[in-house]
């Protein structure tokens, strides 16, 4: 901003600011009115007439940019293959979880297709899981301004963790707490101790941020497929038949091998990576 500084003589003549100007103007108008008393008054031009002011309405697009109250968002579950959020969506809240990613191989895809076909004959239509991973935390809610300190805290705790390999090969049925989705997963057979060591680090960070820790007796697994609703009973009834698909694989019983070299944290649309030491 540019400020004009007047000379000392100007300061003396303009002391008092706008009030002084208004007073001088009033005096001049008073003298002029006295001088013009004998003159006939002329009719004011239209431009000099004062009209009542009326405020124009604010455009709706501007009102939408600055709402007083943020209206809750309603979601169409049909846009998400029938899936329903486990918790209400609120602006500034970021769904967050920690996991090890799994990169499938070609024969894994063939086995999953066989599992989907077998489940279908029993009346359960499953959808293959898109992003395969092994969860090491519950899904929690982070405020946006917590993301940086949360991930920094997690990184510091994981500095002592070493990479390892674990395997899974036993099918198991899972259902979320809300009973809105059922999963067919492959449970971990070995590497349980190393996974628990990592969970302890994650739980410590969760506790410091007053978030829910992982399950007391976790069943580590990789979810292979899912369906909407609670189909736990139906899947358990055909679970042995599904396990036979895994055990009678053309190259022998199938085992899923997971290289636990890089832990990841997904919060909203951001993914943070934490390589483990050799």
- Which residues are annotated as catalytic? 133, 221
Closest CA to 245 of 121, 123, 132: 121
Return the axis-axis angle of helices 239-247 and 106-121, rounded to nearest 10°: 150
Burial group, residue 115, by CB count within 10 angstroms (0-12, 13-18, 19+): buried
Cα dihedral 28, 34, 39, 41 sign:
positive
Strands (DSSP E) along 72-132, which ranges? 93-101, 127-128
Half-sphere exposure of 219 (CA within 13 A, CB side): 13
Query: Which residue in the block uniquely carries the two structure tokens 């909203």?
Result: 268
Angstrom CA distances, 48 to 24, 43, 44, stand at 22, 10, 6
CA angle 81, 85, 88 (to 5 degrees): 145
Q: How many angstroms separate the first and last alpha carbons of the chain? A: 58
Task: Pick left, alpha or beta for residue 85 (phi over 0 → left; psi -120 to 50 → alpha; otherwise beta).
Answer: beta
């Amino acid at each position: 901003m540019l400020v004009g500084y007047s000379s000392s003589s100007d300061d003396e003549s303009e002391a008092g600011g706008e009030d002084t100007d208004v007073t001088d103007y009033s005096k001049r108008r008073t003298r002029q009115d006295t001088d013009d008393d004998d003159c006939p008054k002329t009719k004011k031009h239209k431009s000099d007439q004062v009209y009542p002011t009326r405020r124009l309405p604010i455009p709706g697009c501007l009102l939408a940019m600055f709402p007083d109250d943020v209206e809750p968002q309603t979601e169409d579950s049909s846009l998400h293959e029938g899936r329903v959020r486990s918790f209400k969506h609120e602006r500034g809240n970021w769904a967050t979880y920690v996991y090890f990613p799994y990169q499938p191989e070609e024969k894994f895809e063939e086995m999953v297709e066989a599992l989907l076909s077998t489940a279908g004959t029993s009346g359960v239509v499953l959808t293959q899981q898109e992003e395969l991973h092994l969860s090491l935390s519950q899904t929690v809610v982070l405020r946006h301004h917590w993301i940086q300190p949360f991930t920094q805290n997690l990184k510091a705790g994981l500095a002592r963790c070493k990479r390892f390999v674990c395997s899974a090969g036993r099918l198991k049925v899972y259902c979320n707490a809300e009973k809105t989705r059922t999963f067919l997963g492959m449970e971990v057979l070995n590497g349980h101790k190393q996974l628990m060591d990592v969970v302890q680090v994650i739980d410590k960070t969760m506790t410091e941020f007053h978030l829910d820790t992982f399950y007391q007796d976790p069943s580590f697994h990789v979810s292979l497929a899912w369906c909407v609703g609670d189909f736990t009973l139906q899947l358990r009834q055909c679970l042995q038949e599904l396990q036979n698909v895994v055990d009678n694989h053309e190259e022998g019983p199938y085992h899923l091998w997971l290289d636990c070299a890089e832990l990841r944290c997904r919060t909203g649309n951001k993914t943070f990576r934490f390589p483990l030491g050799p």
